[in-house]
Structures are given as structure tokens and as C-alpha cells.
């Protein structure tokens, strides 16, 4: 492990402090990102803080200390979610929440999750330093186990808060080491039953606002520090099995073959052309395929292709799904190949209200940044919360679009500019107007 890895120093090397204003401190943000980066640091100088690990708990404990420094009342629920509350002048009003997560994939970066938590906290710190008390209560949130790398399914904390917990199903889970959900939770002082107690009434919450790195290249290409998220795509997975006739590669004439791999190849090429015909935000990806019997001198007998279809609007996503299935049927018929299609998953997309996007646009413009709207192709805690409550999201520019990797990077100035936009937007929401 490289002993000289210092995220804070690296962040500050190219930061001139010009974005520090209105109580927002780039050096403080860099210092806190740096301290978190040391918890669960890998040999590659990445981050390893699985959900419900001692490392995730240590990161939460550290942020809770910072929450108290910012004058927040700190609580932790039965799912391990952390809430730092700034009491409002009218504290009976629904609270505005902002935050993200501090867990990571096994060898991830240092911005995915922590930036959203520390951006929300930086706003609270700036308000404390200025003696500002909002009309509505404000809560900085850390959700447990967003990434889901331990139990192959994330959003455990946000789902618990929203009441989307099937306790019996959770108890059946085992992690990658074969340890049960209950055993893993015990390591950090939690119980499965506590997840049921973590549910909050939607009436308590006005909205949730999340800052996250983009994990893409759009903002980088636009040379913008941050952008306005228009919605969170709902993924759907299709499993398509093309069945033909296996045979000897040397003795079967080309005009007497039923080769499912040829059909699947044509399908893969053409499916790439479909999304742009449906919407600007739709995507379709073939990222996994099985060929049987998978021999160099054997014509395949069966090919299974997995297709990931997403969009931020349900109607266009479902239109694309239908077109993908229609394309597969057409191609299999053309080649005289059998086809089976099974839908493995369909999650509802979460569009962000136009009124919220317009308010975010005003916040962006007031900080002298050109507004730019973009979809989120990846899932976030906002996706879970947005099924019942209003949400807003801001993306921060990502270098080369790299994420879930030690090379994940966002320049400090871009991070600070995003915090300013967040602060402006939050002030418009917590003012009580």
C-alpha cells in the first residue's frame, strides 16, 4: 500500500480557494473527504467499506462527530441510518433531508456517496457559522448499505426508512462469506427487527435532496461543475435464449446451419440502434452472454443474451422493452432459430418534477453556472425515496466518467461549486415559503 496517499493534499494541490464564500470551505471539505478516505483504504488506494461493516460504522461515527460540531442533533435508527437534525423555527413542519451514503464497493473510489453526505453537512456548518436557523427543520442523512456489495442488493437503509422491508426475506440473506444477515448486523450492533422500526412517516419529510458524482462524461464534455438530474432510470433485465442446432464446424455446410450465435450477433448489433429512436435518455446494453457448448470447432446450439434496458420515464422504457423483444422475434424468425424471452426485473423509473428542476435551475444560475440537465442511468437512494416523496438531485462532474474504481475523481472546485448550488436550493426549500 502506498503510504504517501493523501486525498486531502491531492484535492488542495489545484484549488485556489476562489470558490470559498458564504461560509462554504473547500479546505474543510477536502480535509473531511481525506479523513474518510483513510477508513477501509485498499492496497490500490481505493475504498473498501461494505454495508454493515466495521469500516462503514467507523465512517458514520466520524461524520456524526462532525454533525455535532455543526450543532446538529444526531440520531441513528434501527437500520443504522444516521440523521443530524437542525431544529427549525417551526419544528413541527416536515423536514428537508439531504445526504447520501458512506459505504462503498469492494475497491471503489472516495467520492461516490461521501461527497453527498459532506455537501449536505457543509451547508449545515455554513448556516451554524452564520447563525442562520431555517423555518423548516433540516436533516443531514447517511443511509446504510446503498451499494449492496455485501448481499448483492443495495438501498437497505433507504428502503428501511420508507418501509420497504420484507423481514423474512432479509433473514434468508447470506453475504459473500456465507454469513447470515443477522450475524453481519450483530457486528455493528443492529438487528433485523430494527429495520422495521426504522420506518418514518412520509408526513415527516418535505423532500430529499442528493448530491452525487455523475459517474459519466456529460458534464466533463460540457465543462460544467454540476448538473441538474431530470430523473433516475428504472432498469429492466431481459434474458433471451436463441436455440439452434449444434454441429461440427468442419462437416456442416454453411447453407445447412441453424447457428444461434449468428442470430444473437445480429440482435446485439441492431439493439444498439433502438434507444435513440425512443428517447434521448433511453439506453439498452448487452453486457453478458452464454454460448453453448462453447467449443472452438462446434457450431453453437444455444446462446443466451442478457439485455439491460433503462429510461427515466416508464412509458418510453416500456416502449423500448417491447421493441427489443420484437427485434429478437424478428431476427430469430429470419434465421429459423428458436427464441425464449424471460423478463428478470422491472423497476419503476423515478422522474424528478419539472417544478423542482426549474428551482434547481435558478439555484444554478444564481451561482453563475450554466444550467444543464441530464438523466441518471444509475440507481441511488433518491430512487427509493422518490417513490413516495419529492426528490431533487445534483450531479458533480466526474473525471473521465470513472466510478466504482480507485481512480474515481472530482476536482475540489467542482465539488465546492456544487455545494453552493445545493445551499442556494436548500435555502429556498427550508425558508417555509
DSSP assignment string, 11-73:
HHHT--STT-BTTB-HHHHHHHHHHHHTTTB-TTS-B---TTSHHHHHHHHHHHHHHHHTT-E
State residue 228's pLDDT score.
98
Predicted confidence (pLDDT) per residue in 111-158, tens digit: 999 999 999 999 999 999 999 999 999 999 999 999 988 887 889 999
CATH annotation of 236-346: 3.30.70.360
State residue 3's pLDDT score.
56
Distances (CA, A) of 147 to 143, 164, 173, 308, 427: 10, 17, 16, 18, 29
State residue 48's pLDDT score.
95
Give the separation between CA 383 and CA 154, rounded to whole angstroms. Answer: 12
Give the separation between CA 378 and CA 398, rounded to whole angstroms. Answer: 14
State residue 300's pLDDT score.
96
Strands 283-292 and 138-143: unpaired
Check whether 2 has a pLDDT greater than 70: no
- What is the reported pTM? 0.88
State residue 1's pLDDT score.
44
Predicted confidence (pLDDT) per residue in 334-392, tens digit: 999 999 999 988 888 999 999 999 999 999 999 999 999 999 988 899 999 999 999 99
Predicted confidence (pLDDT) per residue in 304-335, tens digit: 999 999 999 999 999 999 999 999 999 999 99
State residue 345's pLDDT score.
83
CATH annotation of 7-233+349-430: 3.40.630.10
Check whether 299 has a pLDDT greater than 50: yes
Provide the 8-state DSSP code for 224: -
CA angle at 197 for the pair 196 and 200, rounded to the nearest 5°: 100
Whether residue 49 contacts residue 59, with contact meaning beta carbons closer than 8 Å, is answered with yes
* Domain boundaries of the chain, sorted by first residue: 7-233+349-430, 236-346
What is the widest separation between alpha-carbon atoms in the chain?
84
Give the separation between CA 64 and CA 29, rounded to whole angstroms. Answer: 15
Check whether 205 has a pLDDT greater than 70: yes
Amino acid at each position: 500500500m502506498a503510504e504517501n496517499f493523501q486525498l486531502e493534499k491531492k484535492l488542495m494541490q489545484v484549488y485556489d480557494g476562489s470558490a470559498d464564500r458564504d461560509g462554504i470551505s473547500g479546505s474543510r471539505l477536502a480535509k473531511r473527504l481525506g479523513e474518510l478516505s483513510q477508513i477501509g483504504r485498499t492496497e490500490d488506494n481505493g475504498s473498501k467499506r461494505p454495508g454493515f461493516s466495521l469500516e462503514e460504522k467507523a465512517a458514520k461515527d466520524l461524520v456524526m462527530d462532525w454533525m455535532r460540531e455543526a450543532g446538529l442533533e444526531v440520531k441513528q435508527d434501527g437500520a443504522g441510518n444516521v440523521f443530524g437534525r437542525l431544529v427549525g423555527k417551526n419544528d413541527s413542519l416536515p423536514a428537508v433531508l439531504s445526504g447520501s451514503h458512506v459505504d462503498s464497493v469492494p475497491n471503489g473510489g472516495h467520492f461516490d456517496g461521501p461527497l453527498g453526505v459532506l455537501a449536505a453537512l457543509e451547508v449545515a456548518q455554513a448556516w451554524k457559522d452564520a447563525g442562520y436557523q431555517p423555518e423548516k427543520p433540516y436533516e443531514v442523512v447517511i443511509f446504510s448499505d446503498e451499494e449492496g456489495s455485501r448481499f448483492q442488493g443495495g438501498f437497505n437503509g433507504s428502503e428501511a426508512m420508507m418501509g420497504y422491508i420484507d423481514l423474512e426475506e432479509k433473514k434468508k440473506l447470506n453475504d459473500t462469506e456465507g454469513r447470515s444477515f443477522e450475524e453481519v448486523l450483530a457486528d455493528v450492533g443492529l438487528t433485523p427487527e430494527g429495520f422495521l422500526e426504522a420506518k418514518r412517516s412520509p408526513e415527516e419529510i418535505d423532500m430529499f435532496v442528493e448530491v452525487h458524482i455523475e459517474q459519466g462524461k456529460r458534464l466533463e464534455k460540457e465543462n460544467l461543475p454540476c448538473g441538474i438530474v431530470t430523473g433516475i432510470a428504472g432498469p429492466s433485465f431481459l434474458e433471451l435464449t436463441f436455440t439452434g442446432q449444434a454441429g461440427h464446424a468442419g462437416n456442416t455446410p454453411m447453407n445447412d446451419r441453424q447457428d444461434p450465435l449468428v442470430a444473437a450477433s445480429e440482435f446485439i448489433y441492431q439493439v444498439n440502434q433502438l434507444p435513440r429512436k425512443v428517447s434521448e435518455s433511453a439506453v439498452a446494453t448487452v453486457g453478458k452472454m452464454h454460448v453453448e457448448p462453447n467449443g472452438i470447432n462446434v457450431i453453437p446450439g444455444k446462446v443466451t443474451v442478457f439485455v439491460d434496458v433503462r429510461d427515466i420515464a416508464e412509458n418510453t422504457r416500456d416502449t423500448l422493452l417491447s421493441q427489443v423483444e420484437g427485434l429478437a422475434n424478428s431476427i430469430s424468425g429470419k434465421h429459423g432459430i428458436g427464441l425464449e424471452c424471460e423478463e428478470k426485473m422491472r423497476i419503476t423509473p423515478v422522474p424528478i418534477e419539472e417544478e423542482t428542476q426549474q428551482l434547481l435551475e435558478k439555484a444554478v444560475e444564481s451561482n453563475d453556472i450554466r444550467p444543464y440537465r441530464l438523466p441518471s442511468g444509475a440507481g441511488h437512494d433518491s430512487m427509493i425515496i422518490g417513490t413516495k416523496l419529492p426528490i431533487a438531485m445534483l450531479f458533480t462532474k466526474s473525471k473521465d466518467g470513472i466510478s466504482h474504481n480507485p481512480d474515481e475523481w472530482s476536482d475540489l472546485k467542482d465539488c465546492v461549486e456544487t455545494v453552493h448550488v445545493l445551499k442556494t436550493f436548500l435555502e429556498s426549500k427550508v425558508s417555509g415559503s
